[in-house]
Structure 1
Amino acid sequence: MTQTDLPPLRRVCVCVPTYDEAQNVEMIVGRIRSAVPTADVLVLDDDSPDGTGAIADRLAEHDPAVHVLHRPGKQGLGPAYLAGFRWARERGYDAVVQIDADGSHQPEQLPTLLDAAARADVVIGSRWVPGGSVHNWPAHRRALSVGANTYARLALDIPVHDATAGFRVYRMAALAQIDTAAVASQGYCFQVDLTLRALDRGLTVVEVPIAFVEREVGTSKMSDAIVREAALRVGVWGVQRRVAQVRERLRRGRRWSGWHHLEENL
């Protein structure tokens, strides 16, 4: 199947992971429903002590396109999204969307990402491609993100400029080709992990420029542990890929040498 004949996305599920987002959840759900009225919204709440889950339940009571999946305790971004993917797959959705609950990913840009999904398996809303931008970030956060993505691109030898981005569209057929059961990454490393798995399976991954806006309400979930996990895992993956490449070259060299020797003896 080529990039131009992918089936249309008739049923889309927008997954919104939440933990202590009581001040934001109603806002983000409302903006998603306004931006893409035909899409459903799935709030994935990790038993937020601030009552986020109860607010989401009230939204679902008044809107049949809003759903809530309550999870027992704070388990992290990666497991939340994987649970959302399973939920959507079991209900026959054609695609899932990843979006933050704090408004940093603007739902009004989601139609552009969905348009791009007409010719791609995975669409990444990218801050670091021409046309992308970041607003209200301090210099150290900007430097951290640029550095992390440059590190991932060089260490893993991938063409993606914003592998840590969390605003994405995945076709369900593409996720079926990715071994999501083997994904154990947390935080932003989860995004790099899925990006790498998609590229390694030959899926079409495109980046669409977005304007990223730092949250105005609530607390960021970024921590030193998330940064350390990403740096360690990306480094390990990079070494593993280099070793695999060397082994493949050696294997091909032995095969070529064998054929050359055979020709000499014919």
Structure 2
Amino acid sequence: MPEDTGARPLVLLPTYNERENLEGILDAIFAAQPNFHVLVIDDASPDGTGDLADRRAEADERVAVLHRSGKQGLGKAYVAGFEWGLAHARGYTHLFEMDADFSHDPRYLAALLRACTEGGADLSIGSRYVPGGGTRGWPWHRQLLSRGGGLYARTLLGLELRDPTAGFICFARHVLETLDLHALATRGYGFQIELKYRAVRAGMRVLEVPIVFVERERGQSKMDGKIAAEALVKVLELRLRG
């Protein structure tokens, strides 16, 4: 548990139209890790996700909500969450990226934290493509997009990570304090590649922890062709900049 290591973890949970999933994922996080805190980062969801998050925060001191004025991209949501967490008086020691749609199972939170507190990692990644990891419920084209995108990023950027596009991550606080978060240029899912690339370039040690990624059952995926294209272009730009 976090008290044993002195860790004070914060889970960042970006949301846009996740009303169907929000209460369930919060319950699942606290069932797995009662002492974790959660920051819901809502981009003015039209379906009322932000209002639901506010009601939950009023009833549970472990939950906080950061409201943003509109849908501005996953990368900007996480940067806002990182800054909120780093500035908080509680002194969070580890900050997590995690999806709100149950694609990321909260039971893996403990393993990701242990990889940092006991395994010597500066950041740990919930990886689909190391032994023991995998996906469930994905159609073939999602498999192709994910594996192809990972291979593209590894090849162009020289990354040794098996899952550079992964979005289930634990960061030790000093990683986020070291990186220039405002230098991150990618707004969509390419943000995950860029952030890992910059961390590796800064000399951070990364460990990959096997997880099984599950396709969402409720709500709509935010991935689309425009987001995928942005990731391809930004990876190339990172490579050209060296």
Do they superpose with TM above 0.5? yes
Given the two structures, how large is their TM-score scaled by the length of structure 1? 0.86
Shift of 1:8: 4.1
The aligned counterpart of 1:116 is 115
SS in 1 for 2:222: coil
Q: Quote the Cα distance in structure 2 between the aligned partners of 1:188 and 1:209.
A: 20
Q: Quote the Cα distance in structure 2 between the aligned partners of 1:138 and 1:9.
A: 41
2:27 is aligned with 1:26: no
SS in 2 for 1:58: helix
Q: Quote the Cα distance in structure 1 between the aligned partners of 2:224 and 2:121.
A: 32
SS in 1 for 2:95: strand
The aligned counterpart of 1:245 is none
Q: Quote the Cα distance in structure 2 between the aligned partners of 1:233 and 1:174.
A: 22
Shift of 1:184: 2.2
What are the within-5 Å matches in structure 2 for residues 1-266 of structure 1?
8-91=5-88, 92-118=91-117, 119-241=120-242
SS in 2 for 1:101: coil
Q: Quote the Cα distance in structure 2 between the aligned partners of 1:183 and 1:164.
A: 15
Q: Percent identity?
A: 49
SS in 1 for 2:20: coil
Contact 1:127/1:133 (<8 A) preserved: yes
Shift of 1:34: 1.1
Deviations 1:9-43 (A, max 9, x none): 52111000000000001111111111111110100
Shift of 1:236: 2.0
What is the total number of aligned residue pairs between the two structures?
235
Q: Partner amino acid for 1:50?
A: D
Q: Which moved more, 1:185-194 or 1:213-222?
A: 185-194
Deviations 1:123-145 (A, max 9, x none): 11001111111000000100110
Alpha-carbon spacing, 1:23–1:11, altered in 2? closer, same or farther (3 Å):
same
Q: Partner amino acid for 1:95?
A: H
Contact 1:9/1:95 (<8 A) preserved: no
Q: Quote the Cα distance in structure 1 between the aligned partners of 2:6 and 2:44.
A: 31
Deviations 1:40-97 (A, max 9, x none): 0100000100000011111111111011111111111111111110111011211100
SS in 2 for 1:170: strand
Q: Quote the Cα distance in structure 2 between the aligned partners of 1:19 and 1:139.
A: 26
User: What are structure 1's unaligned runs of at least 5 residues?
Assistant: 1-6, 242-266
The aligned counterpart of 1:260 is none
Q: Quote the Cα distance in structure 2 between the aligned partners of 1:101 and 1:147.
A: 24
Q: Partner amino acid for 2:97?
A: Q
SS in 2 for 1:56: helix
Task: Give 1 or 2 for the bigger CA radius of gyration.
Answer: 1
Given the two structures, how large is their TM-score scaled by the length of structure 2? 0.95
SS in 1 for 2:53: helix
Q: Partner amino acid for 2:98?
A: I
